[in-house]
Amino acid sequence: MEKIKLYFVEAYEELTQKVTWPTWAELQDSSVIVLVTAIIISLLVVAMDATFKGGLTFIYDKIVN
């Protein structure tokens, strides 16, 4: 039991005294970067999907007809 208590005491100390938490402005900046990156990647995936769909449709139409 003592080891479990020691674990929680040390975890609390580390989170309150040793961890450097971001400021509100840093958190907002990071969030904007993540949001913009997610939008760019999703647009790339949509573009790739449309390209492959168009290419495969073209190929299948040529084979069937």
CA distance 10 to 54: 58
Residue 10: which pLDDT band, with cuts at 50, 70 and 90?
A: very high
* pTM of this prediction exceeds 0.85: no
- Range(s) of the domain holding residue 27: 22-65
CA distance 54 to 50: 6
Q: Is residue 3 part of a domain?
A: no
Q: Is residue 36 part of a domain?
A: yes
| Inter-residue contact 45 to 37 (CB < 8 Å) | no
| Inter-residue contact 30 to 38 (CB < 8 Å) | no
Q: Is residue 29 part of a domain?
A: yes
Instruction: Work out how many domains the chain is built from and give that number.
Output: 1
CA distance 38 to 22: 21
At CA 35, angle to CA 30 and CA 40, rounded to 5?
A: 125
Give tens-digit pLDDT for 27-44. 999 999 999 999 999 999
